[in-house]
Amino acid sequence: MIVTVTPNPALDLTWHVERIVPGGTHRADTGVARAGGKGLNVARVAHAQGAPVLALATAGGPTGDEFAAELASSGVPHELTPVQGATRRSVALVDEHLGDTTVVNERGVAPTAREWDALRAAVARALATGSPVRDVVDASGSASGRAAVKKIKPVLVLSGSLPPGTPDDLLPSLIRIGRDAGAIVIADTSGPALLAAADAGATVLKPNAAELAEATGIADPIAGACELLHRGASLVLLSRGADGMLAVTSDEIVRARLAEPLAGNPTGAGDAAVAACAVLMAQGEKKPTVLLRRATAWSAAAVLMPLAGEIHPSWPDLESALIVDSPPLTALSRPSTERTPR
């Protein structure tokens, strides 16, 4: 069972406008509302690939009602912790002419201490009661039949930003709940929370190069990744945008990339990488190279899709086409081209 936690979910609202004139007034067709947030993107991808998933998030206010309704219609299994503060909105205005998107993300409203307790209790409950065995897609990506029923390990995924005012201990406390339940814990976070997640013993961390440098204060990405390993993480998956991804453990450094970068929508690419890692680790996979290949392939396949939380079905071809090597350290110190996701 993969349990994803989205501590700062958002109702994502998207409008397409023919050509946006700053300061102007525009007409548009009805916008699309979607339950958003990085943990939900992870859950959507993993669920679509047949993995047993439970998405946990908070929801409050009228936006929370709309968020809950959209999530229910998506079919992704989920449990929402009710909160007083209204679920934040995220606004995307797509300029159809230029093809770019102007985004405004509300910062979000922090739940109360009691509401955070309720979310923590939901996480503990989900990990305790999660079905240990279920039909899943096997590691090759083909649909499994009865023959492919596998033992599923509990995986806890903690993804995305935290509302302003969130106690520093929230993420560490969730990681401890995961570890106490015997779960693999994957954290996708940034800033001081990234170091706190490493200190609390998250199994896998997935920063991008800019996030890693900012959190550790170390410009060199390998040295930064080693800092996270020293603090307590077992695997650092470093996303490098068009340069692919790196897997760094205490034993090895592996790089995976496509020969040519793909054009498309990078939003949600990192979430697809986390989903790949969660799905494989739930199936018992531990080898960094295998995890890295799948994460890089799903990440690339997400770039081909218009919406975050989806991957293109051609991902096995992308995985086959990956260039995977263990490069000399000097080759890895040039700046990454990745954009920082929200």
Dist CA 178 CA 185 (whole Å):
6
| The pair of three-digit structure tokens given for residue 37, joined into one six-digit string | 């947030």
Q: Backbone phi, then psi, for 260, in 5-degree steps?
A: -120, 130
The 3-state DSSP class for residue 325 equals strand
By C-beta, is 103 or 124 nearer to its own copies? 103
| The pair of three-digit structure tokens given for residue 48, joined into one six-digit string | 């679509």
330: CB partners within 8 A, 6+ apart: none
Residue from 32, 69, 128, 149 binding its own copies (CB under 8 A): 69
Map the footprint of its own copies across residues 168-187, applying CB under 8 A: none
* Window of 40-48, 64-72, 129-137, 202-210 that interacts with its own copies by CB under 8 A: 64-72
By C-beta, is 30 or 140 nearer to its own copies? 30
DSSP string, 300-318: HHHHTSSSTT---TTHHHH
Residue from 59, 80, 109, 256 binding its own copies (CB under 8 A): 109
Strand partners for 298: none
101 makes contact with its own copies (CB under 8 A): yes
CB of 338 to its own copies, least distance (A): 14
* Contact string 5-34 vs its own copies (x = CB under 8 A): --------x-x-x--xxxxxxxxxxxx-x-
103 makes contact with its own copies (CB under 8 A): yes
Q: How far is the CA of 155 from the CAs of 88, 132, 322, in angstroms?
A: 27, 11, 26
CB of 291 to its own copies, least distance (A): 29
Question: Which chain residues interact with its own copies by CB under 8 A?
Answer: 13, 15, 17, 20-31, 33, 62-63, 65-66, 69, 86, 88-89, 91, 93, 95, 98, 100-107, 109, 342
